[in-house]
Structure formats: C-alpha cells, structure tokens
Amino acid sequence: MAHTAPTPGTAGSAGQGDLNPWAASGIVFAGVLLLVDGVLGVIKGISGIATDDVYAHVRNYTFKFDVTSWGWIHLVLGIVLAVVGWGILKGAEWARATGVVLAAISVIINFVWLPYQPIWAIISIAIDVFVIWALCTESSKAVI
C-alpha cells in the first residue's frame, strides 16, 4: 500500500493546525448529543412535572426528591444542555468548557436519579461521558 504525502491545507498535513477529521466528528457528535440529551431532559422534566405516576416511586432512598422536583431539575438542565450543544456546534468559545462542566453535572444528577428510571439514566450517563471525552480531546474552535 503506497503512502502519499498530504498536500498543504489538507487535514493530514502536520503542523498546519488543521482540524483532525476524527476529532471534528467527535466534536460535532458531542454537540449533537448535548442537544439530544437536552431534549431528553426536557421530555423527562415535562413528564415529571405533568404527572407523578410516570416514574417509579422510590422509598427509603437517600436522595429522594418529589417527582415534580426531579421534573424541574431535568427541565432546567435539559434547556441549558441544549443551548450549550448549539453553542458547541456554532464554535462558541464559552460552550466547550461549559459543555464539559454541564455534562459532568448531568452525570451526577442522572446517577442520583438512577432508581427512578434506570434505563434512561444509564443512557444519559453514557451520552454525557462521551461528550466529556469528545470535548476534552480536540482543541479546535468552530466545527460548522
């Protein structure tokens, strides 16, 4: 298999400061995932606020909150996650660090929320862990 040298200005050229296509894909994916995680948070929040019988009722749990309280927590966090995801896709400087911090907070909140909806909590945790990884691996700015 023959190896050809990259032409100047292509993603494979060293020292040009070009964006690694794998990392760029990860950042785009992280931005989209934050948007999706935000929308899921809004849906979880509305479900918790609208009715108390959507989620499991947990007894004797250290971090027990009223389901309506969880609904508001997820609604607010979901809106903020979606805004930050959009900011990441637009290349906003504030969005990358904010995205890492909010994804970490989301991991903690979903871990504490685990007894109420285990499957959705695990899905959200997995999304947030990937987002943290993707945002911490590449230092480029705008991706779209």
pLDDT per residue as tens digits for the range 17-70: 555 565 567 788 888 989 988 998 899 889 888 876 666 566 676 666 777 888
- 87 pLDDT band, cuts 50/70/90, is very high
Angle at which helix 67-90 crosses helix 93-112, to 10 degrees, equals 150
**pLDDT for 107-128, tens place per residue?**
998 898 888 788 888 988 998 8
Which are the contacts of 7, defined by CB distance < 8 A and separation ≥ 6?
13
pLDDT above 50 for 14: no
Higher model confidence: residue 144 or residue 136? 136
pLDDT above 50 for 15: no
Q: Is the pTM of this model over 0.85?
A: no
pLDDT above 90 for 131: no
Distance separating alpha carbons of residues 104 and 110, to the nearest angstrom: 10
Distance separating alpha carbons of residues 3 and 108, to the nearest angstrom: 46
Q: What is the mean pLDDT of the chain?
A: 78
First-to-last CA distance in the chain?
A: 33
Higher model confidence: residue 142 or residue 100? 100
Q: How many helices (H) and strands (E) does the chain have?
A: 4, 0
Distance separating alpha carbons of residues 117 and 11, to the nearest angstrom: 43
Buried b (16+ CB within 10 A) or exposed e, 73-99: bbbebbebbbbbbbbbbeebeebbebb
State CA 54 to chain mean position distance. 24
- 8 pLDDT band, cuts 50/70/90, is very low
**pLDDT for 55-85, tens place per residue?**
656 667 666 677 788 889 889 999 999 999 9
- 144 pLDDT band, cuts 50/70/90, is low
106: amino acid identity, one letter: S
Cα 32–Cα 107–Cα 56 angle in degrees, nearest 5:
105
